[in-house]
Amino acid sequence: MVAPDATVDGVARRSESAAHRELKQLALSWAAAHRLRLAALEVRLPRSGYRADVAATTPRVLADNAVTAVFECKVSRADFLRDSSPEAGAAEHIARLGERLAALRTLIGGHRPDLRRGEALFPEFDAYDLRGLRHETHDRLTAELRAAQRKLHEGTKFAKLVRWRAASLLYLVVEEGIFQPFELPEGWGLLARRGDQLELARKPCLNATTPAERVALLERIAAVGTQRERNKATLSPLGTNARQLASAKVGRD
């Protein structure tokens, strides 16, 4: 991982870019291994101007158990904290709120197994499904944590992607050790790099998404794939010959 304060012109940027590309490929592989087989890199998300590093979905987006996912890759702490200016004591406050909320969710999950969306073959998708939950303490802690994290992450897109329901599941994909667990934005899952693999360090919360929202993301994924194929055709020898023939015809006309 490149140090955030590296100053050699061009070197840090190229190295970090290579590391970022590696994280995106690892996220793509992880998604494919966990039912999210329709995926693409650099997908512009519906209802926003943001571009996801990786977006993916299960094949049957209209099915009741369909899920979509967005992966944001961060290779340095500077990248993670970009445009944020936490106030004194904000980090400690967030840490305490996060610990209380995590403990409460574990307690709720133990007493309410119906709130866990488990799939025996894919335990990594055992996310908390809290959409129908009415719990005063949970609602209050969640609101407090999100408000505190908005201050910590002001100017970043983490909170907005949750609010806009960009996907059923949101993951941060990171190099190991670039931030503390309590800094993870509320609702996001965490995939940490371990060598040439990703390890699920924190499960995400399941966001409610409609069939229309899932279809919209699938269309964006398909658009990226279509553009990639068009680019390949343009760069192929056949594409070159076609352009030459077209140019010759224009010249004759």
User: What per-residue confidence (pLDDT) applies to 167?
Assistant: 96
Query: What is the rounded CA–CA span in Å between residue 46 and residue 165?
Result: 10
The amino acid that residue 208 corresponds to is A
CB 34 within 8 A of CB 56: no
pLDDT above 60: residue 58: yes
User: What per-residue confidence (pLDDT) applies to 15?
Assistant: 47
Q: What is the per-residue pLDDT across 6-22, written as a single tens digit (0 to 9) for each?
A: 333 333 444 448 999 99
Structural domain spans, the chain = 11-244
Q: What is the pTM of this model?
A: 0.65
Q: What is the per-residue pLDDT across 224-246, written as a single tens digit (0 to 9) for each?
A: 999 988 888 776 665 555 555 45
Structure tokens at 76: 């340095």
Helix (H) or strand (E) holding 41: strand 38-44
Q: What is the per-residue pLDDT across 103-126, written as a single tens digit (0 to 9) for each?
A: 888 787 666 666 565 554 454 455
pLDDT above 60: residue 249: no
